[in-house]
């Protein structure tokens, strides 16, 4: 291949950064075995934003925790989470600690639970740099922390010495974003970054997220209930239901022409689309319906739907760029 050909290819072809395949997570509980993630597979490409959406309890945070290797003891995990040639699920705690924060960072939904209340904002961020050996000493790490906070609009010197309780919820959210950015990770996972924020603060956080994406060039896995946020900043969207991904595709196409009946139903819940509730009840995670888990609620169900469908690629605008592919798990396709 000539240099110009490879240059053209590098511009059109997205490079896979994280490859999750056949991920299953089960919890043994007193009520039975919870299948929180069931054969979850997706690729996160360099520099992209992939949104993971779905109803509450469908397994989005469990997927994020699996990637960070932060699942609790009662979780049985299987599958492959490939990053830089290794399966993250095989890494011991020592190796994983070098990946967490430095290469893959997570922003949790509740900053007041994630930030240490007795450590100043500046020191919390500086500590990340020191733990990972990314700054020579305290003054250099504080300097770098100040730089990142400044980029997110919290640069005043006095603010570095303040404690989380002296900041508003939105400001603390920005501190969380700064701590995720400071080590220049390749992947940032944001789990419900706007949940619980009032609409003005949520809009501010969205702006920070966009800034963050542009500044760092990192790939973003955005977990959210907020379709407006997805439409605004995600390149692709993966729709999850009862532990499974049912549809993945480029964001504009999925929003414009949702293919899976569940995706259609989910989007029809939006106020601008008539606020139609999804008929029926959310499935039990311990005893989910056999076959397609959505079929008892699906207006298009047929006899075959009591068997499990498999993921099918149904459309590809550009065969060179796998990030354009649409994948559906439904017998209609």
Ligand X SMILES: Nc1ncnc2c1ncn2[C@@H]1O[C@H](COP(=O)(O)OP(=O)(O)OP(=O)(O)O)[C@@H](O)[C@H]1O
User: Which CB sits closer to ligand X, 159 or 224?
Assistant: 224
User: Which CB sits closer to Mg ion, 61 or 141?
Assistant: 61
**Which bin fits 61, alpha (ψ -120 to 50), beta or left (φ > 0)?**
alpha
User: Which CB sits closer to ligand X, 59 or 309?
Assistant: 59
Token look-up 């979780």 returns 75
**Could you give the C-alpha distances from 11 to 7, 65, 216, 249, in angstroms and in order?**
6, 32, 18, 20
* 72 contacts ligand X (rule: CB under 6 A): yes
Q: Please choose, out of 9-17, 28-36, 91-99, 113-121, the segment that lies near ligand X by the rule CB under 6 A.
A: 28-36
User: Which CB sits closer to ligand X, 37 or 177?
Assistant: 37
CA distance linking residue 234 with residue 222, whole number of Å? 8
* 57 contacts ligand X (rule: CB under 6 A): yes
Q: Please choose, out of 7-15, 53-61, 228-236, 244-252, the segment that lies near ligand X by the rule CB under 6 A.
A: 53-61
User: Which CB sits closer to ligand X, 122 or 283?
Assistant: 283
The residues, ordered by sequence, that sit 6+ positions from 274 with a Cβ below 8 Å of its Cβ are: 268
Residue list 285-324, contact with ligand X (CB under 6 A): 285
Question: How many of the chain's residues bind ligand X (CB under 6 A)?
Answer: 15
In the three-class reduction of DSSP (H, G, I as helix; E, B as strand; rest coil), residue 42 is classed as strand
* 224 contacts Mg ion (rule: CB under 5 A): no
* 105 contacts ligand X (rule: CB under 6 A): no
Which one of 61, 69, 194, 324 is in contact with Mg ion (CB under 5 A)?
61
Closest CA to 225 of 196, 205, 251, 252: 196
The answer to whether the CB of 145 falls within 8 A of the CB of 129 is yes
* 60 contacts ligand X (rule: CB under 6 A): yes
Which two structure tokens, joined as six digits, stand for 112?
């007041």
Which one of 17, 27, 101, 328 is in contact with ligand X (CB under 6 A)?
27
* 49 contacts Mg ion (rule: CB under 5 A): no
For the residues of 114-125, what is the DSSP string, one character each? Answer: HS-TTS-HHHHH
180 binds, among Mg ion, ligand X, none (CB under 5 to 8 A by kind): none
Q: Please choose, out of 1-9, 54-62, 83-91, 200-208, the segment that lies near ligand X by the rule CB under 6 A.
A: 54-62
CA distance linking residue 222 with residue 189, whole number of Å? 6
In the three-class reduction of DSSP (H, G, I as helix; E, B as strand; rest coil), residue 247 is classed as strand
The residues, ordered by sequence, that sit 6+ positions from 164 with a Cβ below 8 Å of its Cβ are: 111, 112, 115, 116, 117, 121, 172, 175
The least CB distance from residue 320 to Mg ion, in Å, is: 34
Q: In 10 A of CB 91, how many CB atoms?
A: 17
Which one of 20, 58, 105, 212 is in contact with ligand X (CB under 6 A)?
58
Which one of 12, 29, 287, 307 is in contact with ligand X (CB under 6 A)?
29
* 69 contacts ligand X (rule: CB under 6 A): no
* 282 contacts ligand X (rule: CB under 6 A): no
Token look-up 């730089």 returns 147
56 binds, among Mg ion, ligand X, none (CB under 5 to 8 A by kind): ligand X
CA distance linking residue 328 with residue 239, whole number of Å? 10
Which two structure tokens, joined as six digits, stand for 132?
């990972």
Residues that bind Mg ion (CB under 5 A): 61
Positions touching ligand X (CB under 6 A) are 27, 29, 34, 36, 54, 56-62, 72, 74, 285
């Amino acid at each position: 291949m000539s240099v110009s050909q490879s240059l053209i290819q590098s511009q059109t072809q997205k490079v896979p950064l994280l490859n999750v395949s056949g991920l299953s997570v089960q919890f043994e509980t007193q009520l039975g075995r919870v299948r929180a993630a069931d054969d979850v597979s997706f690729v996160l490409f360099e520099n992209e934003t992939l949104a993971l959406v779905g109803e509450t309890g469908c397994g989005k945070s469990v997927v994020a925790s699996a990637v960070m290797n932060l699942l609790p003891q009662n979780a049985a995990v299987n599958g492959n989470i490939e990053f830089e040639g290794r399966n993250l699920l095989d890494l011991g705690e020592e190796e994983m600690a070098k990946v967490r924060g430095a290469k893959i960072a997570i922003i949790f939904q509740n900053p007041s639970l994630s930030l240490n209340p007795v450590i100043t904002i500046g020191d919390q961020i500086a500590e990340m740099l020191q733990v990972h050996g990314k700054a020579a000493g305290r003054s250099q790490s504080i300097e770098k922390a100040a730089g990142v906070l400044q980029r997110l609009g919290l640069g005043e010197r006095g603010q570095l010495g303040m404690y989380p309780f002296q900041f508003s919820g939105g400001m603390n959210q920005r501190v969380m974003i700064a701590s995720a950015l400071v080590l220049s990770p390749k992947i940032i996972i944001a789990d419900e970054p706007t949940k619980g924020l009032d609409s003005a603060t949520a809009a501010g956080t969205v702006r920070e997220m966009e800034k963050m994406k542009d500044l760092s060039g990192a790939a973003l896995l955005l977990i959210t209930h907020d379709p407006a946020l997805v439409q605004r900043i995600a390149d692709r969207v993966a729709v999850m239901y009862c532990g499974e991904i049912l549809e993945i595709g480029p964001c504009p196409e999925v929003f414009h022409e949702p293919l899976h009946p569940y995706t259609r139903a989910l989007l029809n819940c939006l106020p601008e689309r008539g606020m139609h509730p999804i008929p029926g009840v959310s499935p039990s995670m311990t005893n989910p319906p056999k076959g397609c888990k959505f079929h008892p609620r699906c207006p298009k169900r047929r006899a075959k739907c009591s068997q499990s469908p498999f993921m099918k690629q149904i459309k590809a605008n550009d065969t060179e760029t796998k990030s354009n592919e649409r994948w559906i798990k439904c017998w209609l396709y």
